[in-house]
Structure 1
Amino acid sequence: MKVLITGARGQLGRALAATAPEDAILHTIEIDDCNLTDRAAVKELMEQVAPDLVINAAAYTAVDKAESDEDAARAINADAVANVREAFAGKLVHLSTDFVFDGTSSRAYRPDDTRKPLSVYGRTKAAGEDHLAHGDVLVRTAWVYTSGGANFVRTMLRLMQEKPSLGVVADQIGAPTWAPGLARTIWGLIAADAAGTFHHSDAGVASWYDFAVAIQEEALALGLLASAIPIAPIPTSAYPTPAARPAFSLLDCSKTRELLEDGYTHWRTNLRRMLLEEKALG
């Protein structure tokens, strides 16, 4: 099985390559290999590679910057998906986000729930979803992180070493996602010949404040931090950003777990695994 992975240098792209099944022949690309917003370039790429499957992990993820850069966000998050879908006749696995929801639900969002994005990022990701065809796989996820990447966990570790105290938003609720776990779910869906919309995040519930407190506690236990600093819960209003964010974006992953029969892993367990890897990286 020849698999083309876009966004190969991103957190998920690297995790997909690291967890790929033995029978997968990977062809990985980044923006400098092929501009996915260029229709002709995508057509040429598909003719050259002739993949059996495409996993689109490329995305414009600068949530706040997108508010003033909508054309670029739409080109990457929506138009590029259309280009891939037009040029490729096989199954497309596409990654999307919890930001397609408005955060007003009183329960975890199911795959078939109505989308109502609050931001340019969310709207462009929703537009990308609309280009998928029957038989494709859409995987929504949230709060992705991994060792060695640019993410909330590593930012918190740095700030906890540099700052005497931190204030972290406590009224945005969801669940973190360890990229290798997400990658294994994607490969599992492919192996099951799944089609349709699926959600994946780690089990449990957290605010960004809860996540930050856990990062400090686990990092202290592993010797990644020398001492603790005070962490205060703050409201979203105390940390204004250009883009509106859903206050509640927990994803209901029961459909995914039932199909794969692989159980649930709590986000704190995966956080510990990531920090162990981070420690090994030095």
Structure 2
Amino acid sequence: MKRTHLPLNALRVFDAAARHLSFTRAADELAVTPAAVGQQIRALEDLLGVVLFRRTSKGLELTEEASGGLAALRTGFLHFEDAVQAMQAGQSSHVYTIACPREFFAAWLAPRLAAFRAANPQVRYVLVDGEMTDFTEANLDLAVRWTDGPGDLEGISLGTAEWVEVGSGDWIGWPGDPEPEGEGPEGEGEEAKPPIMVSDAGQAIAAALAGMGRAHIPALLAAGVAGNGRADLIGEAVACRRAYWLVAPVPQWRQKKVKELVAALTAGA
């Protein structure tokens, strides 16, 4: 019999009826009607091709066939319970796997993770570089992404949707800032692109600080620029569509351990 075709609900009913030797008491345990129990037992008997219960003057009795399979069935249910507990144990695990852009980790996330671990010494972190890392492939608990919303994931924004201009001169473009594409030299295609293209906000900041041009950078990263003694290069914060979002699929987002970390990271934000 294929595992995908196991009549698990009927087997659960059979186990309850076998323990009580009563459809009525089994129904009370399972919060169904005695008639529903009888239907499940008859359906299971039809599927297996055996009789499971015999009615006698003393009440229900298990047949030899039913008794022969009962011990293995109950062992199987115990294994199911062990499997569920093992899966739930991940919710109480103290290991967090987090994907985050490198520059955001250095400027914002690292000190907050350190504070959370100081209050919870049992916590361990696995940090993965990159915003778009796949949750399933990397077994992620959380990810930080520079985006205009959580999309299909659950999430919360970290700070406001703002960026600042850093540096001067030609535009430095990066994938998180599509605006310079319309502010480069007049023309179309390659001619309309900024003269300098980099791969992420961290490289945009480094290029601007090196005097290669000017770039839009997320406002949450501006403090790091000021800390380098280059506050004179930072412009005023202006609204934009994107912000840093802390995101996860619904199952991860609902886990107790994830809720605790999210609450700590966003406290006072």
Same fold (TM over 0.5): no
Shorter-chain TM-score category?
under 0.3
TM-score (norm 2): 0.26
Question: Whose Rg is larger?
Answer: 2
